[in-house]
Structure 1
Amino acid sequence: MERYLDEGSAGEVYGGQNVWIGRSVAIKRLQPQHQDNATITERFLLEGRIGGRVDHPNIVQTLDMAREPSDGSFFIVQELLHGMGLRALLEQSPRLSYRDALDLLVPLMGAMVAVHQQGIVHRDIKPENIFLMDSSMGHRIPKLLDFGIAKVRLNRTLTQVGSMLGTVDYMAPEQIEGRKDVDRRADVWAVGVLAYELLTGTCPFTAPSPAVVLTRIIAHHPPSVHELVPEIPPALSIVVERALRKDRQERHESIQQMLEEIIRWSVSSANESDRAIPARHRTSLPAVLEQKVRTGFSSVAPASIRASLMSAHRSGQFRMPEGLRELAAFMDGTRAVRSEEEEPSHEEIVCDVDYDVRSAVQEPVPASATVPCPAGEFGDCSSTLPPDELTEAHEDWEVDELVAEAYSCLRKNAFSEAY
């Protein structure tokens, strides 16, 4: 131990050095007067165990735990963080731009997915429990701290029935009610409150006293973040609003589902800066979402993507710009040549209400399918090529890239229509 750093309600934090490997560490020590308090001691140890159990770049890492032989006090050895707390940042700049907010929220939500996968509910997500670590590359890495009141599935919980654990401003209605069955949707709520605060500069249920805050959480419906800050994309506003539903059955089922909605919006945005957000945080994303980012959220094979475009083209119920009509016709085997002046359009595709693009991608395409030319529309030029052979027949079209672009437009429109 080298120097004193900080003190909490039950512990003291010191800076130290691992003399074997020369690494600077933080040593959190439980104050001796709390050694005989079983609840405080168990919460202290729980924090250390979770930090060693959950491996994620945005969770503070526990390196060791032990007991001091001289006085029997417990201590936890963790990675030493240099930087500032999120609360300190918000005191300097209460409202962040939505992109800066997402640069904090996306990795933190990735961390929460890892926590939930271990059967752990944090129950106290707030700016005071988030640290912004200065990295060697010059940017800040958010770190989730303090699992002292976490609820661990299948283990004995530290919560008694009817008690409230958490910080009032960020507590879900079921926590206020002291329900025994608090689950990960309480963390969904807290992330929603945190997102609301970062995006608007104020908590959604702020009030002069804790009692009034509790009442507002139960009964008050705050204005949307888009109403308060019009430049915030409506899709993000909808995600936050859903996270703050009073009935947890109406919230996102999980942080991962909430994060996926944000990533889907991001990758489909017309703004390049929005689309770059997931790539900056790939190491923080759960593997299933990282895979979806790389594939553009397409979970279907190229032949099925082609089937989607062909089905839409043949249905006659799908209105699209001429460039994408040309692509669909080409995929249908009804056009094989594109003139130089016929460039694909980047305008947004518009669907009829009764046509579901997402169901179209499930339509199978027989391996030997032949597609006739729609009468009179493109001339007498029907093709007998199977869809999977069209790419080989017309390599100069770079079909896969065009299909990916068009299919991304289809999915973007379907996602927009859903909201």
Structure 2
Amino acid sequence: MFCARCHREYDAARFCPYDGAELHDAPQTTLFASRPTRRRGEILGDRYIICGYLGRGAMAKVYLAEDRQNLRPVAIKILEPAHAGAQRTRERFLREAQAAAMIGHPNIVRVFDVGQRSDGSPYLVMEYLFGESLGDWLRRERVMDAELAVPVLRHAANALGAAHRVGIIHRDVKPDNLFLVGQPGDPYAVKVLDFGLAKNTAQAGLTVTGFAVGTVEYMSPEQVVSDLHDQRTDIYALGIVMYRTFTGSLPFARIEDDTDILAQHLLVAPPPPSQVKPELDPRIESVILKAARKHPDNRYPTMDALVEDLDRLASDRPLLADAPLQLTDTYEPRGVFARRATTYFYKRLGMLPRSLQG
């Protein structure tokens, strides 16, 4: 049984125990909101019929569709024809399906099928999600209360931890890729989206030296200079997500262009979150700053360790985040390009490279 108001499903009931709405026998596309599209009625793979338009990203559009085999709604993500001819873009697009299949976690969006349209554009058939992204929430509400934010971030960390255990690094963790399932303002589950930039540590070929991947506002120091990175890269990004979620602000601001933000991620310690929001729980601040350390060895070693501290927030147990740092918290570039890039960013901020200090 399906509730059209909150989109929860139940084994047997007449009314939704949560909001009292009358239940339907099964989800139907007519119950879901979508916008008109010229592709309405188009059938993909002799199975999926497009019913409406849901939205778009940088390189793909997403449509509401019905699976004619089981009459259930799905979301279909179609790579735009302008990008479909680029081999690297196609690989990254299809990587989302590969990653979801490898991870198989309830807090990661499910991908049911892949295919290709007659014009050569690949598509992914995914579970339909009702709700909004954390990015949408923060643009509207600005700050999320700890009572809701801690469970949301815990679910996201659990999902990313599952990805890391099978060797997959997301590399683009940000509020817009964390989906809050449920009525806007009242989520009951979290889904991690868009593994298009994910890297499988057992494979090679999608990272190019000198080319940084990710979203500028959430990029780790090692991403900024195109150094090798691991699961702690996602931990840093989630730390920046936490910073914004609890304070309503990002730690680093654009001065002239995005280069200024990248330089600060690499070289400047973030302002204490309590400087932005004085009433913030000091224990939450400790968790945020631990995740967002410059040196990877000073961050949480795994998402499981971060989850452990998020759980400890509800008790008097000491936080892992409060342990003394073992290393000076500066990023040490490893590759030749990374060292050159670091020198450039020092100059960008008018700072003296460490090799020339004192």
> TM-score scaled by structure 1?
0.61
1-structure distance, mates of 2:275, 2:210: 36
Contact 1:32 1:73 in 2 (8 A): yes
Q: Which residue of 2 aligns with 1:356?
A: none
Give 1:66's aligned residue.
Answer: 115
Corresponding position of 1:106: 154
Between Structure 1 and Structure 2, which shows a larger proportion of helix residues? 1
Compute the displacement of 1:202 (Å). 0.4
Residues 108 and 191, structure 2, Cα contact 8 Å, conserved in 1 = yes
Q: CA deviation at 1:415?
A: 7.3
Note the 1:7-156 alignment, pairs <5 A.
7-68=56-117, 70-134=118-182, 139-156=187-204
| 1:295-334 map, 5 Å | none
Give a deviation string over 1:324-345, Cα, whole Å, max 9, x none.
xxxxxxxxxxxxxxxxxxxxxx
Range moving further from structure 2, 42-51 or 3-12: 3-12
Mapped partners of 1:133, 1:107: distance in 2: 12
2:242 corresponding residue in structure 1 = 195
Residue by residue over 1:189-226, the C-alpha shift from the partner in whole angstroms, topping out at 9 and shown as x without a partner, is 00110001111110111224312111221222223223
Amino acid at match of 2:287: V
Identical-pair percentage: 34
For residues 350-404 of structure 1, what are the alpha-carbon distances to aligned partners after superposition, in whole Å with 9 as ceiling and x for unaligned? xxxxxxxxxxxxxxxxxxxxxxxxxxxxxxxxxxxxxxxxxxxxxxxxxxxxxxx
Post-superposition offset of 1:144 = 1.0
Partner of 2:220: 172
The structural deviation recorded for 1:255 is 1.4
Deviation at 1:101, TM superposition (A): 1.5
Structure 2 unpaired stretches of 5+: 1-49, 325-358
> Which one of the candidate residues 248, 262, 269 is aligned to 1:221?
269
Q: Which amino acid aligns with 1:41?
A: R
Q: CA RMSD in A?
A: 2.2
Q: How does 1:399-414 map to 2 (within 5 A)?
A: 412=317
Question: Following TM superposition, by how much is the alpha carbon of 1:414 offset from its aligned partner in structure 2, in angstroms?
Answer: 9.1
Find the aligned partners of 1:183 and 1:127 in 2 and give their Cα distance: 20
Task: Report 1:243-322 matches (<5 A).
Answer: 243-266=291-314, 268-269=315-316
Return closer, same or farther for 1:158/1:99 CA change in 2, 3 Å cut-off.
same
Q: Report the alpha carbon displacement of residue 28 of structure 1 after superposing the two structures with TM.
A: 1.0
Counterpart contact for 1:193–1:204, Cα < 8 Å: yes
Equivalent pair of 1:151/1:157 in contact (CA under 8 Å): no
Contact 2:63–2:76 (CA under 8 A) maintained in structure 1: yes
Between the aligned partners of 2:218 and 2:309, the Cα distance in structure 1 is 22
The answer to whether the 8 Å contact 1:98/1:232 transfers is: no
Question: 1:408 is matched with which residue?
Answer: none
* CA distance 1:211–1:20, change in 2 (3 Å): same
Which one of 195, 204, 213 corresponds to residue 251 of structure 2? 204
Gap change, CA 1:231 and 1:43, over 3 Å in 2: same
**Aligned partners of 2:309 and 2:321 also within 8 Å:** no
Offset, 1:24: 0.2
SS of aligned partner of 1:2: strand
Report the counterpart of residue 359 of structure 1 in structure 2. Answer: none
Verify the 8 A CA contact 1:15 1:27 in the aligned structure 2.
yes
Structure with greater strand percent: 2
Q: Match for residue 183 of structure 1? A: 230
Q: Which whole-Å CA distance do the structure 2 matches of 1:94 and 1:116 have between them?
A: 30
Secondary structure class of the residue paired with 2:70: coil
Alignment partners' CA distance in 1, 2:305 and 2:321: 17
Residue identity in the other structure for 2:293: R
Q: Which residue of 2 aligns with 1:401?
A: none
Deviation readout 1:258-288 (Å, 9 max, x if unpaired): 111221232x24xxxxxxxxxxxxxxxxxxx
Among 157, 162, 172, the alignment partner of 2:210 is 162
**Structure 2 CA distance for partners of 1:94 and 1:254, relative to 1, 3 Å:** same
Deviations 1:83-115 (A, max 9, x none): 112222111111122222212101111111111
Aligned-partner Cα distance in 2 for 1:414–1:73: 49
Q: Deviations over 1:124-173 (max 9, x none)?
A: 111121222217xx643221111111111112231111210011110001
Matched, 1:240 2:288: yes
What SS does the aligned partner of 2:313 have? helix
Contact 1:170 1:190 in 2 (8 A): yes
State how far apart, in whole Å, the 2-side matches of 1:72 and 1:218 are: 40
SS in 2 for 1:48: helix
- What amino acid is the match of 1:144? V
User: Structure 2 CA distance, aligned partners of 1:161 and 1:27?
Assistant: 33
* Aligned partner letter, 1:196: Y
What is the alpha-carbon distance in structure 1 between the residues aligned to residue 203 and residue 114 of structure 2?
20
* 1:50 shift after superposition: 1.2
Question: Which amino acid is the alignment partner of residue 234 of structure 2?
Answer: D
Q: Distance in 2 between the 1:5 and 1:207 partners?
A: 31
Matched residues, number = 273
Name the SS for the 2:142 alignment partner: coil
Amino acid at match of 1:185: R
Tell me the TM-score normalised to structure 2 length: 0.71
